[in-house]
Amino acid sequence: MRLSFSSFIISMGISILFIYVFNLLLKSYKHYHKLRIDFMNICIHVIMIKLLIPCELLYTFSIPSHYIMLWFYRFFYFPIKGIPLYRILIFLWICGRVACLLFFSKKLINVHQFIKKIPDEPLYKNGIRYYRTDLVDTPVVIGIKGYILIPKNGYEKELDYILLHEQEHIKKHDILKKYFVYFLIMIYWWFFPVYKLKEQVDLIIEMNVDFRVTKNMNKDEFFDYAQSIISCMTQSSSQGIGFSIDEHNDMKYRMKYLMEGYQAKKTNPLILATLGFVVFLSSLVVFEPIPLNQFGVFDLLGSSDSYIIHFQDGTYRLFIDGNDLGNISNIDDDSLKGIEILEEVQ
């Protein structure tokens, strides 16, 4: 795998498209019967992996781009008082990461202080440990160790199903999934779609728990569970504690999806195969810019620390100021004359 400027730009574009289409599917009732939780899980994981590893894969091949990608290069290398724009943007990105780190660190400290206030004596029901406290007004799971907190008053009828639900969050380490999303936000704080992705992950986490808890229930238990979840939502008003698992995640979509899942448990294999093919295609091609005279690239190359690496697999890649600009399709192009070619060392 190789990380290049082109692969990063294309991964961002594909991620925007995936997040947008996935959001349409999540908010469209008519697709719920066909697209079950296995489909939704694949979608959300593909998007997160695409953001985490915006690289060219082994089967990715390059297509020369005379216009679009070259425009991106010229834009990010545009000098502002002698400093390339991309260096200024990197500085701002680092500042944003530091701010996010401080913000999330404060949330972790708040969670740690909150846990200290939890009563020392836990309660047990059906082997599940939980705490009754007036610190919350809605059932939540908080902390990596998984403290199930239930409001001191109410929720008597729904308690069995609430505990099953919250225990499933703990068993599948859902709080760590939320941490991972916050990690992505620290990297992509400037990338607006990542905040929509966070909402989608929260909703998918709840849909997963609903599916696992109800998959072996009979009809009466299934609809009792659904009624319990609805009842909990009508009784509570808070949005949970930072880094906790709370239940306020587009309730109408979640309940509709749960009801559709009573009879349809799995997605048609043909739909899953189509999804897999689309994912494969999304990483099949990367567009690389071709430097041509009419675009003024000679000045860019001539004023930068530029070199070409000839890899042992026969490919050539262009580097400017230490940045990998991607594959070179024609090493004999006149615009590349004079640039030093280095051989890859075993």
∠174-177-178 over CA atoms, to 5°? 95
Q: Which two tokens stand for residue 148?
A: 């199930």
- What pLDDT is stored for residue 323 in this prediction? 67
> In sequence order, what are the beta bridge partners of 83?
80
What residues contact residue 163 under an 8 Å CB cut-off, 6+ apart?
A: 125, 126, 128, 130, 148
- Tokens 């509570």 belong to 236
Task: Spell out the per-residue pLDDT of the chain, length 346, in tens.
Answer: 677 778 888 899 999 999 999 999 888 888 888 888 899 999 999 999 999 999 888 888 877 776 777 778 778 878 888 888 989 999 999 999 999 999 999 988 988 898 888 887 889 988 899 999 888 888 888 888 889 998 888 788 888 999 999 999 999 999 999 999 999 999 999 999 999 999 999 999 998 999 899 888 888 888 888 888 887 777 655 444 444 555 555 677 888 888 877 666 788 999 999 999 999 988 888 877 665 433 334 344 444 567 888 888 888 888 776 667 777 877 887 767 778 888 876 5
Q: What b/e readout covers 15-50, taking b as 16+ CB neighbours within 10 angstroms?
A: beebbeebbeebeeeeebeebbbbbbeebbebbbeb
Please provide residue 318's backbone torsions phi and psi, each rounded to the nearest 5 degrees: -95, 135
Tell me what pLDDT residue 283 has: 86
Q: What is the pLDDT of residue 290?
A: 62
Report d(CA 32, CA 214) in Å as an integer.
Answer: 17
Q: Strand locations in 69-116, DSSP E?
A: 79-80, 83-84
- Residue 205's pLDDT is 92
- Which residue is listed with tokens 């799971």? 141
pLDDT of residue 303: 42
Please, is 261 exposed, middle or buried when counting C-beta atoms within 10 Å of its C-beta (0-12, 13-18, 19+)? Answer: buried
Backbone angles phi, psi at 191, to 5 degrees: -100, 95
